[in-house]
Structure 1
Amino acid sequence: MMEISSGNDGQMNGAVIMEQFQYSSQQLLLQTPQPDDFKNTELSTFDRLLRSKWDAAVELGCFRYRIDELQTKILPGPRKIVAQLNIKRAIERRKPQKMTHISQPFNPDIFNFTKVNPKEVLFELCPERDTSDSVTDETPLCNGVTESQHHSVLINVSPLEYCNILLVPKRYQCIPQVLTEDAILLALEAVLLSAHRGFILGFNSLCAMASVNHQHFHGYYLEHELLIRRTATRPVIGPCHELTDWPVRGFVFQVKGQTVQETARSVYKVASVLQQKEIAHNLFITRGCALDDDSQIQEQTVRLVLWPRKSFFGAKNDKTFPEVAFNVALCELAGHLPIYSKESFDELTEEKAIERTREVSLSSEEFEALKDSVRSVFQKW
């Protein structure tokens, strides 16, 4: 049963009691009508709640800046890259934390998502399977807080698009920024709770432009088509495919031929290889066409694209790259570019954008060696 329950916002054992969005697997929207015009999408209960809470947070002044309408253009060229001018994000976003390696432990003494203003928490996401869970004395929690294992949906106070949220699994368990099977499942279900094909969720690992070492996913609506939703792939092993015509080499999975749980497990198998090998990575989750339709028949599924990539140990900025002025993280790899200066926005071309994103790609030799490791994991699992 899907329901929205709300109590009085207050304190209980040090934690704020938040509105809860409860759902079961029967409410996951594996197939939804997809009109040509994004604005004609019939929204789900999840969409309506998220948008209403976000809009209310805007009116309360919870953000560092407003993004009522971002200047947007599609770069000329076959890839139809979406570029958006967002100068304030570059200037006013929180300073990224220093990342030294992929498996860096959680540090409770620096900023993390237990420290946000309660007004930044929109609601708690509560899968039915979690209703019997409880936090015990042995469960590691931050700041002495005891609270349920429900998952927090926060605003991103420095948004890159409409309804830019942070989905933080089991927020007070203070999990470092690594992919786990449960977290992938939660993010995948969140995309399936939305009826809007423009709703996106994604993950940046440490050394892949994650700015906070506390497990979280970015989510937002993008009302522009992205080629990644239908670009060609080929099989690697089992449910794991690879991109065949993309600037950065990556793996692709889909919610077709597997259950949602099995899909999350398949993605985690590859993510665990990347974590063991200390390879930085980005994950992008979006509705798109099935992988075996040769990109012609728009059969709907959810695609999960996992990019292994070169590590960066800090955020590059507009002063470092004045000719391009964007960092390469989950949305940029998918073809959505938030641009941080007007000059760069005006001068950016598809060729320059592709050249910039290719800088983070593993070499052909590195990726082929990684594919051998992935095949080995699937054969043994």
Structure 2
Amino acid sequence: MYKLNHFEGNRSEKFLELLKSNWDKLHNDTDIFRYKIDNFDERLVEEKYVLQLNPDRRAKRRTPEEMNDVCQPFDKNKFNFTKVSPEEILFSLEDDVSDVHTVIVNVSPISRYHSLLCPSVNKCLPQVVTAESLALAAEIMFVAQDRNLRILFNSLCAFASVNHLHYHLFIEEEDFYVENVKWQHVKGDIHRLDASYPVPAFCFKIKRQSIVQNSKEIYKVLEHFLNKSIAHNILLTTRSIDANNVVNVIVWPRKKTVGAKQFSAMNVAVLELSGWFPVYDAGSFTNLQAADLEKELSKWNIEDFDKLCEEIVQL
């Protein structure tokens, strides 16, 4: 069990070093992964979007749970992260109130070191974002001090596969396309993605000296989405020209998907919205162009983002 401050300063053991070393050991020495992560083909489309060919993820992953409501209650009888085998746990974190947060491997990974952060795992919270879990994710971004780390969240009805509170830890050396898109100021601390991006989103900053307060402010927006049953995806990243001691938070409100996740050529969740596309068949990998990807992304645009923007300003 580790405290987050264990990884700060000049400690010999860093957060991502521990994650990577434990992940590699499990990947190399056990059979807990449903497939191995080895040399997946990747292709950059028009200097914007990354495609990765990963057919095993469609063929071998766990069947996703059926999701019909953005605030669907937790069901102890369904798969949840209290049921994973002990060896899937990379390590656990304990906060100042003795709440336990676990970091576990994703046994159906998209890329090397793809893992899951499960806040307050034993409280069995549904996959509904909380201000506390958002602050925890931001704190981990600051503690990790690695621009390659992103933390991702998919709400229910936005291609979350398990109804138990979790975030994805994703490590990628290259920029996501969305990380280089300009922000437009809306009001106060609220921004939005430049209109050139195919899916509109709200943009915020969490500063290291005000993690809790900034997280609560962002949560007001997310709570509005929950009250209106608006599905959403969230990206936390430190990649930008002014990201020193700042975590950028991009939030996409989007059309809902109802039922179990289907394994089509792509499922538009937070990675895809960020410009990084796992695809499951060689034909799609070879033939998809930027126009095809942007057409797929735009299918999930919320109907009246400008009206929603006005509502958010009033919060």
Matched, 1:56 2:25: yes
Is the Cα–Cα contact under 8 Å of residues 85 and 340 in structure 1 kept in the other structure?
yes
2:78 partner letter:
I
CA distance in 2, matches of 1:65, 1:169: 26
Is the Cα–Cα contact under 8 Å of residues 28 and 192 in structure 1 kept in the other structure?
no
Task: Quote the residue 1:361 is aligned against.
Answer: 301
Task: Quote the residue 1:346 is aligned against.
Answer: 286
Between Structure 1 and Structure 2, how many residues are aligned? 310
- How far does the alpha carbon of each residue in 1:178-235 deviate from its partner, in whole angstroms, 9 at most, with x for none? 0100010111112222232111111110000001110000112112122222311112
- Cα offset for 1:255? 2.7
Task: Quote the residue 1:102 is aligned against.
Answer: 70
Matched, 1:22 2:3: yes
Pick aligned residue for 2:86 from 118, 141, 153? 118
Q: Tell me the TM-score normalized by structure 1.
A: 0.78
Is the Cα–Cα contact under 8 Å of residues 104 and 176 in structure 1 kept in the other structure?
yes
1:88 partner letter:
D
Is the Cα–Cα contact under 8 Å of residues 147 and 238 in structure 2 kept in the other structure?
yes
The aligned runs of 1:260-271 (5 Å cut-off) are 260-271=211-222
Is the partner of 1:57 in helix, strand or coil? Answer: helix
Is the partner of 2:277 in helix, strand or coil? Answer: strand
Matched, 1:328 2:307: no
Task: Quote the residue 1:312 is aligned against.
Answer: 257
Is the Cα–Cα contact under 8 Å of residues 7 and 14 in structure 2 kept in the other structure?
no
Root mean square deviation of aligned Cα: 2.0
- Cα offset for 1:54? 0.4
The aligned runs of 1:211-230 (5 Å cut-off) are 211-230=161-180
CA distance in 2, matches of 1:368, 1:28: 43
Q: Tell me the TM-score normalized by structure 2.
A: 0.93
- How far does the alpha carbon of each residue in 1:307-334 deviate from its partner, in whole angstroms, 9 at most, with x for none? 000000132323xxxxxx1100011000
CA distance in 2, matches of 1:111, 1:160: 20
Is the Cα–Cα contact under 8 Å of residues 239 and 266 in structure 1 kept in the other structure?
no
2:110 partner letter:
L
Q: Structure 1: which 5+ residue stretches go unaligned?
A: 1-19, 30-42, 134-148, 290-296, 319-324
Task: Quote the residue 2:44 is aligned against.
Answer: 74
- How far does the alpha carbon of each residue in 1:255-304 deviate from its partner, in whole angstroms, 9 at most, with x for none? 34961222211221110000000000000111122xxxxxxx55543211
TM superposition outliers: structure 1 runs of 4+ over 4 Å: none
- How far does the alpha carbon of each residue in 1:161-189 deviate from its partner, in whole angstroms, 9 at most, with x for none? 11111111111100001010001011111
1:274 partner letter:
F
CA distance in 2, matches of 1:185, 1:102: 21
Is the partner of 1:259 in helix, strand or coil? Answer: helix
CA distance in 2, matches of 1:102, 1:68: 35
Decide whether aligned partners of structure 1 residues 74 and 52 sit closer, same or farther in structure 2, where only a CA change above 3 A counts.
same
Larger Rg: 1
CA distance in 2, matches of 1:267, 1:334: 19
CA distance in 1, matches of 2:41, 2:107: 19
Task: Quote the residue 1:273 is aligned against.
Answer: 224
Query: Which one has more relative contact order, counting CA pairs under 8 Å at least 6 apart?
Result: 2
Matched, 1:376 2:286: no
CA distance in 2, matches of 1:298, 1:186: 22
Task: Quote the residue 2:156 is aligned against.
Answer: 206
CA distance in 2, matches of 1:352, 1:197: 29
CA distance in 1, matches of 2:139, 2:276: 22
Which stretch of structure 1 is more off in the superposition, 117-126 or 276-285? 117-126
Matched, 1:233 2:183: yes
CA distance in 2, matches of 1:375, 1:93: 41
CA distance in 2, matches of 1:269, 1:26: 30
Decide whether aligned partners of structure 1 residues 74 and 298 sit closer, same or farther in structure 2, where only a CA change above 3 A counts.
farther
- Cα offset for 1:44? 6.9
